[in-house]
């Protein structure tokens, strides 16, 4: 397939907005793994990843018609994912307040065999020490997004992104390398 026939992201989004289900499917397939990685970095739970990612894409499918700037699809999608993950974590915290768990049910570890690499385990534990919003920020950087794109996703300034990112990275390194040792 030559490059001229490959639809741009904007074109695919516009087709999805017009109700083209094949275009919507293409968008899901293109982004599902990236959103899964992003979700896992924020929530730290393997068993919730599929449910949360599904929520994100169902919301995307229902709201895509209202997206005014199709070229901003990625920023919009990651903003949706970030908010969905943070809402999910907030609900989990509220649930813990109202449903008394026995001590053995608090801070449940990943299911056996779920995490099979030391490096991943160390990173997961280090990420768990950060606030969810800081995890989301670092996860956006890992997605290869620029400071300007992250500022657009989070609806804040580039200066604010740089300052928060610097602090979050320092904290992450501190926890990651102390955990590794």
Minimum CB separation from other proteins for residue 166, in Å? Answer: 16
Residues 71, 14 contacting (CB under 8 angstroms): no
| Rounded Cα distance, 56 and 74, in Å | 13
Which of the ranges 23-31, 71-79, 147-155, 159-167 carries the binding residues for other proteins, by CB under 8 A? 23-31
CA-CA distances (angstroms) from residue 136 to 75, 82, 84, 87, 143? Answer: 13, 6, 11, 12, 10
Q: Does 41 bind other proteins (CB under 8 A)?
A: yes
Q: Whose Cβ is closer to other proteins: residue 147's or residue 169's?
A: 169
- Please count the CA atoms within 13 angstroms of the CA of 121 that sit on its side-chain side: 13
| Rounded Cα distance, 79 and 26, in Å | 19
Q: Does 150 bind other proteins (CB under 8 A)?
A: no
Taking alpha carbons only, the member of 164, 93, 79 closest to residue 130 is: 164
Minimum CB separation from other proteins for residue 97, in Å? Answer: 27
Q: Does 174 bind other proteins (CB under 8 A)?
A: no
**Contact positions vs other proteins (CB under 8 A):** 21, 24-25, 28-29, 32-34, 36-37, 39-41, 46-47, 49-50, 53-54, 57-58, 61-62, 114-115, 117, 119-120, 122-124, 142, 173, 176, 180
């Amino acid at each position: 397939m030559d490059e001229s026939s490959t639809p741009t992201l904007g074109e695919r989004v516009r087709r999805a907005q017009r109700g083209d289900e094949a275009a919507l499917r293409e968008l899901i397939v293109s982004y599902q793994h990236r959103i899964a990685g992003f979700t896992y970095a924020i929530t730290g739970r393997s068993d919730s990843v599929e449910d949360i990612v599904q929520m994100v894409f169902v919301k995307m499918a229902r709201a895509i018609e209202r997206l005014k700037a199709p070229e901003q699809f990625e920023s919009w999608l990651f903003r949706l994912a970030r908010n969905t993950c943070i809402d999910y974590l907030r609900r989990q915290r509220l649930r813990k307040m109202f449903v008394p768990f026995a001590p053995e049910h608090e801070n449940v570890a990943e299911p056996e065999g779920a995490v099979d690499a030391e490096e991943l385990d160390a990173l997961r534990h280090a990420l768990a020490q950060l606030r969810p919003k800081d995890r989301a920020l670092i996860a956006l950087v890992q997605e290869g997004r620029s400071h300007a794109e992250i500022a657009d996703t989070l609806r804040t300034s580039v200066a604010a992104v740089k300052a928060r990112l610097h602090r979050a990275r320092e904290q992450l390194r501190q926890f990651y390398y102390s955990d590794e040792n």
